[in-house]
Amino acid sequence: MAVKKNNEVESINVHKNAIEDPKPVRRSRIRKSIVRKLNTAKFETMDIIVDHDIEVDWRDAKELLEKAKNVTALVLEDYKRTEGQVLSDLQLSSQNAFRNEADLPKKSVNLNDNFDSLS
């Protein structure tokens, strides 16, 4: 913006946001990721990883939290699409995790047993 005074031009630098909001603009990185291990067959697993690292500008904590919330929504949506596409393209289906039979106890233990009588 320039102001003319007595045939002289006086330069005035006014930043619109500086007048409206005196808080300084800050820049931060928001990094969020989802890592999930899927069992695709017995003794076969696959890791699906979605990672986003985004720079955001913010003026107050409320604005930063809102932008972080938006990044979370982005990562979740990206993960859902990625998992669906990977399983479809590889013609796999996700299976629930299962316990190895060797890890199961051989005999159940009753907590009401009298352990002193075992010796």
Q: In the structure encoding, which two tokens stand for residue 42, read together?
A: 């017995």
Q: How far apart are CA 77 and CA 83, in angstroms?
A: 10
Instruction: Determine the average pLDDT of the residues in 99-111.
Output: 54
> Does the pLDDT value for residue 4 go beyond 60?
no
Q: Which residue(s) pair with 46 in the sheet? A: 38
Position 73 confidence tier, pLDDT thresholds 50, 70, 90: very high
> Does the pLDDT value for residue 115 go beyond 70?
no
> Does the pLDDT value for residue 100 go beyond 80?
no
> Does the pLDDT value for residue 114 go beyond 60?
no
The 8 Å CB, 24+ separation contacts for 30-37 are: 30/54, 30/55, 30/56, 30/67, 30/68, 30/71, 32/68, 32/71, 32/72, 32/75, 33/75, 34/75, 34/76, 34/79, 36/79, 36/83
**Residue the block writes with tokens 């629930």:** 96
pLDDT in tens, 23-72: 899 999 999 999 999 888 888 888 999 999 999 999 999 999 999 999 99
